[in-house]
Copies of this chain bind each other. A is one copy, B any other.
Amino acid sequence: MVGAGQLARMTYQASIPLRVGFRVLADTATDSAAQVCADVRLGDYHNLGDLLAFAAGCDVVTFDHEHVPEEHLAALEAAGVPLAPGGGALRYTQDKLAMRAELTRLGVPCPRFTPVADVADVTRFAEQAGWPIVLKAVRGGYDGRGVWVCDDAFAAGEVLAHGIALLAEEYVPFRRELAALVARSPHRQGAAYPVVETVQRDGVCHEVLAPAPGLSAALAEDAQRLALEIADALGVTGLLAVELFEAGGGLLVNELAMRPHNSGHWTIEGAVTSQFEQHLRAVLDLPLGAPRPAAGQTVMVNVFGGQDPDLYDKYIHVMAADPGMKVHLYGKAVRPGRKIGHVTVTGSGAGEQNLAALRDRALRAASYLATGKERGE
């Protein structure tokens, strides 16, 4: 796996019972996954030589992120290195304009969009789509970075001044955000997880509710089918996470990711097969595991760093306060606002009250780990 962040760390855990040999390409020996893997190679994923040396002896190479340059992906494939997903599929996670164009060609419902080069382009688009509009970096955005909601031409001009390639999208007044996670293997086996609700703050995922509460069976099935169809059409090997807006009684595709995804961390405890095991199975062309839930309801909440770099006391208090809370720490140095872990809690029921209690427990634990305080204190 190229990249040694928390996704590689959790994928490594899943590789152990499967008896899968696992090597990671890390920037430094202190990277999240590099701390725990037995086979760590240090190198720079921007450097083709490092990538080729890393891949030597691997049956297949997969990715913790989508930042390996497109030309290096092509060069690896030309050198006979099997990539999963391949460069042809990964392209749609690296270039949002290509993604939007391809999904539109496939008839997948998306927000209206257009490439923009100057304020006149944005204004023309806004005359049809209405203000506010959303500007997005064509390349390199994630976790809310590279996304700007603009109320007027002046705000758009400030974003355009960054001098990066941009597209404009209509602003969708969505009811909520959903995510559909599927896996696809080279044998074209597919598996679809229950559709979840993701609760964002400032464009960053904070909570995941699995399954999405109150989602109609018809919409859930639509979302799963859509994700499986996109995975097939784009030739994805491994996981595909499709971030969706629920709006106007239907679904619109927001973003794609082709790797284990934050919206799937709940599957470690909440599904029969975790997304990390599933990604390995798909990438290695093993039969896929059952994606069905292992609990009635699961809530995952991300843990962000607070001011205090020392987590230890807070970690003990959370364990003592809630013995059923599953705490996952990524081994990352604490910095304010940095994603350093997550907590997960499962419940047997499926009712609203039960969900509210689970969310309360998980939000408390995550807040306490970050700040040493209960929420609202």
Contacts and interface: CB of A to CB of B under 8 A. Distances in A.
Contacts of A267: none
Given A294-B346, A329-B18, A324 B289 contact: yes
A17 interface: yes
A254 interface: no
A37 interface: yes
Interface stretch (A8-16, A79-87, A124-132, A148-156): A8-16
Interface string A254-288: 00000000000000010011000000010000111
A108 interface: no
Interface string A283-315: 000111110101100000000000000000001
Given A13-B13, A38-B36, A38-B38, A290 B18 contact: no
B19 A324 contact: no
B17 A328 contact: yes
A291 to B, nearest CB: 9
A345 to B, nearest CB: 9
A109 interface: no
A35 interface: yes
A323 interface: yes
Nearest to A291: B323
Contacts of A13: 13, 16-17
A294 B295 contact: yes
A326 interface: yes
Interface string A189-212: 001000000000000000000000
A331 interface: yes
Contacts of A295: 294
Contacts of A281: 319
A40 B36 CA distance: 11
Contacts of A330: 19
A218 interface: no
Contact of A38 (B10, B35, B292, B315): B35
A323 B288 CA distance: 7
Contact of A17 (B287, B289, B326): B326
Contact of A327 (B18, B292, B326, B328): B18
A56 interface: no
A289 B18 contact: no
A316 interface: yes
Contacts of A53: none
A36 B38 CA distance: 5
B9 A287 contact: no
A320 interface: yes
Given A35-B38, A292-B324, A294-B295, A286 B18 contact: no
Pick the most buried of A19, A281, A328: most chain B CB atoms within 10 A of its CB: A19
A331 B19 contact: yes
B323 A287 contact: yes
17 contacts: A9-B16, A10-B16, A13-B17, A16-B36, A17-B327, A17-B329, A18-B329, A19-B329, A19-B331, A35-B38, A37-B38, A38-B38, A272-B324, A272-B326, A273-B323, A287-B316, A292-B324
The 4 closest A-B pairs by CB, nearest first: A19-B329, A287-B320, A287-B319, A17-B328
Given A9-B16, A269-B294, A288-B323, 8 more contacts: A16-B36, A17-B327, A18-B327, A18-B329, A19-B330, A38-B38, A38-B40, A287-B316
